[in-house]
Structures are given as C-alpha cells and as structure tokens.
Amino acid sequence: MDPSNSDPNHQSVDPGSVHVEPGPGQAAPGQRICPSCQRPVPVDAPECPHCGQRLQVWEDLPRPFPRPSRFRAVNARQSSGRLITPYLIGANLFMFILEILLSGGTNITNHAALRLGVSLPLGAIISTGQYWRWVTACFLHGGLMHIGFNMVALYSLGPVTEQLYGRSKFVSIYLLSGIAGYLLSSAAGETSLGASGAIFGLLGMLFVFGRRQHLLGAGGIRQQALFWLVLNLVFGFAFPGIDWHAHVGGAIGGIVLSWLAGTGQSQTAREERLWRGVELACVGLTAFCVVLMLVTGGRILG
C-alpha cells in the first residue's frame, strides 16, 4: 500500500510544475545575468530592476566584427541622436581638399603638409612652439590611398564604438588617442600625419569593451579587436614609410583611456556631465589648434 495515499495531509506534486527561482549567476529562459549584481533580469530590459545598471541588448554589428543576433543601444539620451562619426569623416575630407588645393593635385606636397599641420619631431615642435600640430595631424593624409583606407576603417569602427560608449566618450577618446599617437611619434623623431593613431584608439576601446563587458558576444568583439590590432601593427612594422609609433601610441591611448572611462556608456548623470565636459574641451582644443594652424602654420616654412 502506498503510504502517501493513506495520509490525508499529503498532496501529490507534479515535478514539472515546480518553479525554482534562479539564484545569483543563474538565468531562466528569457532572462540574462546583470553584469553588476549578478541577478537575473529580463533579456530585453534597458536597466537592471535590482541595482539600476544600464544594460544593452545585441543587434547587428558592422563588419569586421561578429554579428550577434541582436544589438541595440538602449541609452536613449546618447544613442537616439545622430552619430558624430560622419562629421569626423567630413572633417578629414575637408582637410584633404585643402591639401589638394595647396598641392595642386592629389600628390600631397611637403609644403602643403607643413602648412596645414603635419606632426614634427619633438625638437622641432618645442623650438617652434607649434604643439597644435599633434592635433591637426590627426586630420591630414598623404594621398588618396591613405585617406581612403583610414576613412573606410573609421566608417566601419566609428558607429560601433560610438553606440557602445556614447558620443561624449567616443569623441573624447578618439581625439585624445590621436594626440597620444603623435606624442610618441614626435618623441621617436618622426614626421607624420593621418588619422591612424585615433583609429587604433577605437580598436583599443573595442578591445577593452570586450574584455570588461559581460554581455553575449562581447568576447567576440575582444577577439576581433585584438586580431585587427595585431594585424595592423605587424603590417606597420613590416613595411617602411609607416609610422608605427603613432599606431602604438594611439592604441595605448585608447586602451588606457577607455579602461579609466569604465565599461560602455555613462552610468550616472554625474558621469555623463563629466564626459560631456571632456568632449567640449576636446572639441574646443581642436578648434583652437585649427586657428593656430591658420595663423602660424606658415612660419616654419621660412
């Protein structure tokens, strides 16, 4: 005789109907783990209901990065507006047109590059006081192939990085990475120009995001960023005429600054105001350096 049938207080329970609440670090179907508090949250939630951590959901990522099933930046304050990447591309194209006009063709002359702000060896920078060249050089290029390759890279990497970090962090770290690249380039005695240092900074930002973020697909971003970092650095080492110092400096700048900036977009209003201030300072510095280029750029040619 089954004892359970003789006990009036006993009720049979269907094992399939038992609901077990997931513990920390465990997620049920339709949920995922908050990277901050490690508690399960709905997979499409814009923020964690337990700790307030802003979350992101994956949709399509532009090549060369992997395309998880979904990626969508959910920070409406930063991702709903226009991307700044096209304006950066436009600024580079505008400066290249000026180079063409001064050179009389697409073969950019040394005169045009010097006049518009190519980066110089550190001794020349200090003796002339033209430190603004570390900024203006980020927007100059040596020919059609040079600007074409860099703008394709910026077009591919810029929107991804901008959506992951938000506009303010993206603009700030992009410009500061470019400056870091030319600081190292000048210290190595190079005369150089191009947006490559800043673009290497974007690769550094993507590597850090993939390294520190716990979202689905972040590991793929880290691997792809590391692959392209190593491949382009090897390419720069192997072929003469490429200023690998600017590449290394830009990559280091992007990695260090994005690591200090934290993972992804600003998490608090205070942090957002801070990075908006940094962004305005960087844009203001760039405009100031352009003015100095227009006023004093020709003095070194004498």
CA 247 to chain centre: 14
Report the amino acid identity of residue 28.
Answer: A
d(CA 94, CA 120): 22
d(CA 112, CA 142): 10
Q: Which is catalytic among the residues 168, 172, 177, 247? A: 247
Look-up of token digits 């942090």? 271
Closest C-alpha to 228, from 143, 157, 147, 151: 157
d(CA 92, CA 4): 80
What number of other Cβ atoms are within 10 A of residue 94's Cβ? 11
Closest C-alpha to 205, from 174, 231, 237, 179: 174
Q: Which is catalytic among the residues 196, 245, 258, 266? A: 196
d(CA 6, CA 99): 95
Kind and range of the H or E element at 40? Answer: strand 40-42
Closest C-alpha to 261, from 169, 177, 158, 175: 169
| 141 a catalytic residue | no
Helix and strand counts by DSSP (H, E) for the chain: 12, 4
Cβ burial, residue 108 (10 Å; 0-12/13-18/19+): buried
| 196 a catalytic residue | yes
DSSP, res 9: T
- Write out the catalytic residue numbers: 196, 247
